[in-house]
Chain A
Amino acid sequence: QVQLVQSGAEVKKPGASVKVSCKASGYTFTSYGISWVRQAPGQGLEWMGWISAYNGNTNYAQKLQGRVTMTTDTSTSTAYMELRSLRSDDTAVYYCARAEPYGSGSCFDYWGQGTLVTVSS
């Protein structure tokens, strides 16, 4: 069965970086993409960006351009999302989700369990 298993909760200070992992199993990793979606406490869902595990292409949300990098390691079927220069409003649960491989316009049929990132001094 398809599973996306994310790394554990993180606590970071303002200005630091965080890198969240998402290990995929149960399907051919390079036949899909991975999108990242975050949810601040009590708030809605915010799409952060997408990476194709097929060819490594990426698209990032404009508001995060320059602060976010998404990568994949096809040898371990793992996707990564790194967010730099953290601020308090980056405190959120971060989700990875399976997406289409060829373009960032996609719905998401499988999701990871979420990783809470807390930014606090």
Chain B
Amino acid sequence: DIQMTQSPSTLSASVGDRVTITCRASQSISSWLAWYQQKPGKAPKLLIYKASSLESGVPSRFSGSGSGTEFTLTISSLQPDDFATYYCQQYNSYSTFGPGTKVDIK
């Protein structure tokens, strides 16, 4: 099974900050990686697919990069609506989610 790790597990930031979250896979997954945002009591929302493709309707301040085993999600200027938990997901072989990164207010 492919294992996913994320860092950091928690990130404290302010509105306007540039935020970067890292996701690593235990083996190469090419570009088969997605990022989701989840708020309390809600279903996850797809932000990025195929490592760097922005899902329709998602603000352009979100971007993804990477391939192989190392990936990043960047929020260029953090907005109040962005405080949430972010998960990466590999879908190269079945599916595995990372443990999540909680972005909270500094």
Using a CB–CB cutoff of 8 Å, the interface residues on chain A facing chain B are 35, 37, 44-47, 50, 59, 61-62, 95, 97, 104-109, 111-114
In the docked arrangement, what's the CA distance between A37 and B96, Å?
10
Q: Which residues of A contact B46 (CB under 8 A)?
A: 107-109
Query: For chain B, what secondary structure do more than half of its interface residues adopt (helix, strand, loop), or is it mixed?
Result: loop
Contact of B95 among A44, A95, A104, A111 (CB under 8 A): A104
Chain B: CB-nearest residue to A60:
B94
Alpha-carbon separation in the docked complex, A104 to B45 (Å)? 19
Q: Determine the chain A residues whose CB is within 8 A of the CB of B96 once the complex forms.
A: 47
Interface extent on B, as a size class?
20 to 34
User: Is the C-beta of B34 less than 8 angstroms from some C-beta in chain A?
Assistant: yes
With A45-B44, A62-B1, A114-B43: A107-B91 Cβ-Cβ less than 8 Å: yes
The residue that B92 contacts in the complex, of A95, A105, A111, with Cβ under 8 A, is A105
A27–chain B nearest beta-carbon distance, Å? 14
Find A111's partner among B34, B44, B50 (CB 8 Å cutoff). B44
